[in-house]
Structure 1
Amino acid sequence: MESASLLQSIQHFETFMAFFMVLALVPVFRRFAPMVGLVDHPGGRKKHAAPVPLVGGVAIYTAFMATVLFNGLYTGFEGLIFGSSTLFLLGLIDDRFDISAALRFVLQAIIISIALSLDSIWLTSLGNFWGVEFSLGILSYPITVLAILGVINAINMLDGLDGLVSGVVMLILFFTLGTASINNNAIAPYTTTLLGAVVGFWLYNYRFPWREKASVFMGDSGTNLLGFILPYLAIHLTIASATNNPIKPAYILWLFALPLWDISAVVLKRIKEGKSPLKAGRDHIHHILLNHGLNVRQAVLFIYGITALSLSLGTSLVYFQFGAVGLYLSFAFALYIYVERLFKYDRKESMAKIVEMKPNTEKKFNTNA
């Protein structure tokens, strides 16, 4: 992209094309969703009161891909096109037929591997440690695949409240766009296109004062799509070219700080309890906030704030030229605080349940006597 101005980047034609396409497509897809079985029904851990169409991801994908193809942005990004399309289709099948977590994980890994091979991009280094470049060597390929897998599933697990994931993704894209524009990186048009599409979806998904519930959900098709494109674009920021300066690989961690903190804490908690890390549950940050008495809109806004704060902190550390060691250590410290707080809350909640159960047990004993 020729312009280094963030404002000019946001005003780019691709942004508005994708935005208005999503606005137009969601009502159309929403109408046909029940006919093809793309509806999320309430029950179990799903607390929404009525069936909701799962076509947000379909609208985002259609708008993103149509804009990319229309503007000829596919050259040199064949892996991005293949990976986003195939993972979108996998998510769509999962929305309709429910694929097992293990099979989904394996298929995601295979698709990501092929996509990275097509564009020949991967993380080759973890950065400079005390003057020594920490090259990944033969581990660069598997680590890149695992990193993208982690983001896909972190985004998927975070998708639990109206407007939550779409808002978090908007913030991540905004900071990614800023970095890409300043560094004159080739990913800027793709970032603006996806940002426009996600903003269009967010308007249907967020709980505004005049609308109590989301009118459409993103679905696994959407979380797969966004979970792949976001780290793919971020990895491109670390690649040097004749026209841009690469950013530190550690900055990628800060771009996805909140989703990665959440999935790390939940996985550690489930392993500690002897549960499957891949099984769905109600132990994420948004569930904890709801249990603390916040309503859905308050919980979502609170998480927006944490996301914006973590993104600002990570960007500031890069701006003030913190080395790789400082970036990794600060991220690890923040992760430790996050996990420690989650475990502390879990212990308090468990003790509260025990206290609540004791009177009931005594009452039953006395009645039977």
Structure 2
Amino acid sequence: MSESYEYSYALEAERRRQIYLNRISSTTEKFYSRYMEQYNRMKREGFAAYIPAEMNRLESDLSHIRTLLISDPEEARELSYTVGSYIRSMSSLASVAKEQFDRAERLRVESLRMERQMHQSELVQEYFEILKRITNPIVVNYSVSDLQILKKKIDTGILTDKSELAARAKAIIVSAKKKADEWKAKTISSNRRANAVEVINDAEVRLRNERIENKEKTQQFLDKINQLRSGLANGIVNTEAVEKEIIALETEVDNTWISEETRRETVKAIIKQLRIQEFTVEKPQIFKINDKNYVKIVARQPSGKRAICNVDLHGKIAYKFDNYEGMTCLKDIEKFNVDLQQVYSVKLSDERVLWRNPDKLDKDVNSTPETYRRDK
């Protein structure tokens, strides 16, 4: 006798949830490690002097991600997306700032060095104390000319009051900070397209390194990346859309991997159960028929009994037990179903009999359960 069935399958909710959490923890950990490397590089290159607020924010966010990876991987992933949206602009901003304002910083340091070597009036000393407190080279650049005019007024005796010096210096610094913020915004905007190209390229590298079994799906993802790259180059897609599309793509890649991992877990459970039932299991193979991607498992016993199972990515499992004497296959099928659910937490539902043959032998020894042979 031979019989063939189709079921809907699902891993126990807790197990599937853990697969999901493990996946996003793993991907977020990789993002975190890469962002930490970028942060440490920027720190070594002295970028904190040029973009202190941004570096402090990055340090805080990375620390928070590290904590959330243990307590709340989903929130860690969301925060990593936020970091990804600004860390590239930070790096390019600081690089340009260092190149453009390094001279102003060196002049400030030299002025402070000379000040320590000279005996000066109390007002001049106060002036250099004010200068010493301006540590951001960008602010120094936008304030240096006005502060030099202020110094001349002290030297010529036009400015003699310490409180007036403080007030004028404060106004100069406030104006310089505003100009610095405007420069940052303009620089970030001008680098936005280059950063978007980098986002696309990084996404492609990550995708090519993924262990996704469905090659057609992988190609679809690559096509989407190439469409974004072309759209950005032609001005059809803006930089904000690129970031949103890449995040959506990353989520879809995660979901694809999770579906495949769920199937891998199910396939492992089926193989273990067949071996317990004294079948010798051949190496599983991935096939595609009628646009369906599925894993085929073939198992045999020395007596000639055979089991064929097909597991797809959409929660369907079809199997056939054949080459049995009389009704004996029903016992193996029942044990197979019960143990999958009770021992391996593979929930089976929506039972459908695909085919039944009371004969001893199946004429087509290489046949496949019908659910994968008909068009849907």
**TM over 0.5: same fold?**
no
- Whichever structure has more strand as a proportion of its residues is 2
Larger Rg: 2
TM-score category (smaller protein): under 0.3
Bigger RCO (CA 8 Å, 6+ sep): 2
